[in-house]
Structure 1
Amino acid sequence: MRVVIAEDAVLLREGLAGLLERFGHTVAASVGDADALVAAVAEHRPDAVVTDVRMPPNFTDEGLRAALALRRSHPAPAVLVLSQYVEQTYAAELLESGDSAGVGYLLKDRIGDVREFVDALDRVAASGTVVDPEVVRQLLRRRRDPLARLTPREQQVLGLIAEGRANASIARELVVTEAAVAKHIAGIFTKLDLPPESDGHRRVLAVLAYLQG
């Protein structure tokens, strides 16, 4: 199996490469950021990708967003996310993309045996799905709590809406443009399942969801 590894911590990246080669796999490339991951997959067309979530330059969700972009490519590689974090905003979307090629999401500190990791990658490469139970628990909590779907910035914007702030005031508070505020608010409405036909009341309904949360 040909694998591309994306991990910003160089010791872990090289350790993963050595481990996979020891089990008979070929590491076509090992890279340290999301852009390099996308480029490596385009160049090498691997069978599987192992990627972290948080990578340069912002260390937020670059790796996971790159994985989603790769899942939309043709052919889509199998993807195994290996991270310390459950990035809920995109994790569910990634796991729901597992119909054509395998997908998995494992937490680094919950892997107790190297064979467990290699077996998980083999199952993902064979079009299977492997998900850490803790990832499942966090995603289920997210579905029960609509506010958990929001990014930290969207939660911040919603909090300011709850204070009665207009878009211009929110923009000044966060030192962003009003267009950026409007984009965040549109995201809030979408993630809280507030339909456009309730446009006159969506800010109120969003605030109610915030207060209930």
Structure 2
Amino acid sequence: MLKVGLELTLEDKDTGKRYRCKIADIKEDKIYIDYPIDLETNRTVFLLIGQGLLVDFVSDGQIPYRFSSKVTGRELGNIPMLILSVPEPEDVRKIQRRQYVRVDVALDIALTFPESNLKTTAVTKDISSGGCAVYLPRNIRPGEHETGKALLVLPLKEGYQYLQLLFSVVRLFETGGKTGASLQFKDTSAKERQYILRFCFEQQLLLRKKGLSG
């Protein structure tokens, strides 16, 4: 499940700060990671040995997992690395769907519905790694459970990320005189989910800074 190149999201147990990194190597009871990047400042951080962490990742099967770990050492070489403790298999737990991070945000999204022969641009109402809700133009009304393709633009701190995603229409809804659709992402890769999770965390941090959340 854990493998070289897998992207991890780390949460400091003491401060709640979140970081991203990748697994550089795995040996016996040690996970070697590159130096983490702070999701809020986009700068490299230096964690202390003994620091407790919550570690999130998305498996190849597109299932989010979490485990508890701590920094156990450093590896100084051509590429400096931190060493994390390896969890016991029973301590790696699935993150329930209700725990998915969802944020209210307006993002540009292009939608194609092959069954209805419809194409449109729309704006999201909210998004999580599992799907999003969008406001549709009045002349666009796909069928429930219809599948389609989306081009989503994520404005991350490190730059814009363009994701091409498959989706299915879960339901249509009316709100404030607007027609909307709840979309569930299908067959997303671990990397795509990680990009969306990172965007959601960055948005939460931004809202906290503005005093609008938490």
TM-score range for the pair, normalised by the shorter chain length: under 0.3
Structure number with higher relative contact order (C-alpha < 8 Å, ≥ 6 residues apart): 2
Superposition TM-score, scaled by structure 1 size: 0.23
Query: Which structure dedicates a bigger proportion of its chain to helix?
Result: 1
More strand by share: 2
